[in-house]
Structure 1
């Protein structure tokens, strides 16, 4: 996921302040994910669970990232795509429901781990992180496709 993010940053970075901010927030989210998942280069001591506070902090970042997309970025990108014709607008609008499907996985993860009143819930963390990673990867691919739609038409207009 980080490799794909780096490619996205190289391709679209610097083209729009909001996009730069969004990609930066994606990077922050992924780093926190790697930390709580104990993935390289953020490996934890063997057989160690992350602290519940770290998981809750990740949940807050996850919800912030999802919200930022839904309430700030997507509408602006669709609006920009509208300037390039109906087909561009339609393609952008077809991506939004596909992105939204991944939101439930993020919100379910958040609900489970922010409302937990003891550390026993952390025993499910590996399996839940794996499911979440699949949803995040799908979401990022659709988001990148949305950015590509915008970038493709901006490049033609330049």
Structure 2
């Protein structure tokens, strides 16, 4: 029994680190969004900041889909948590729709040429992606709360 508990700690303790790094990425993404929103009128000199935001957005979304969500689902399966798995299945389509908005934003502003050609639309695009990402963060927080924190006590 002690061996099983130790194994669970080793296995799921790393999930804490993944989530912590991901949440740090989230904070940095929010700070970048706030900074860009605060620029006011956008000019071509703002393009590098906007391109950096695109990179951060795609990185954040990718880590979620190809790291965090997989780990959370695996953890729920290992703990045979059917309620958590049902929540996962319910929220993933919502999260995936926000991914589409993030990718569309990236495709629209990822290069200097794309960005400079659409600077007039940027305030609307920034507002849209900010609202959508805030919704996504809420969905992700539900997943973390239900799929991970509920199991943390069992691995401690």
TM-score, with length taken from structure 2: 0.80
**Count of residue pairs brought into register by the alignment:** 139
Distance 1:63 1:120, change over 3 A: same
Distance 2:138 2:124 in 1: 22
* Whole-angstrom distance in 1 between the partners of 2:36 and 2:98: 20
**Structure 2 runs not aligned, ≥5 long:** 1-14
Match of 1:140 among 134, 137, 140: 137
Q: Distance in 2 between matches of 1:76 and 1:48?
A: 39
Structure 1 residue runs of 5 or longer lacking an equivalent are 1-14, 39-43
Distance 2:64 2:116 in 1: 30
Is residue 127 of structure 1 aligned with residue 119 of structure 2?
Answer: no
Q: Whole-Å Cα distance in 2 between the matches of residues 17 and 24 of structure 1?
A: 11
Cα deviation digits, residues 110-141 of structure 1 (max 9, x gap): 00001451624111111111111111011001
Q: Compute the displacement of 1:81 (Å).
A: 1.5
Match for residue 65 of structure 2 among 70, 78, 81: 70
**What's the counterpart of residue 33 of structure 1?**
33
Q: Is the 8 A contact 1:95 1:142 kept in 2?
A: yes
2:95 is equivalent to residue 107 of structure 1: no
Offset of residue 48 of structure 1: 5.0
Contact map agreement 1:81 1:153 (CA 8 A) in 2:
no
| RMSD of equivalent CA atoms | 2.1
Find 1:57's aligned residue among 30, 52, 72: 52
Partner of 1:154: 151
Residues 78 and 93 in structure 1, CA contact (< 8 A), matched pair in contact too: no
Is the Cα–Cα contact under 8 Å of residues 92 and 149 in structure 1 kept in the other structure? no
Higher RCO (CA-CA < 8 Å; seq separation 6+): 2
Partner of 1:7: none
Q: Which is greater in Rg? A: 2
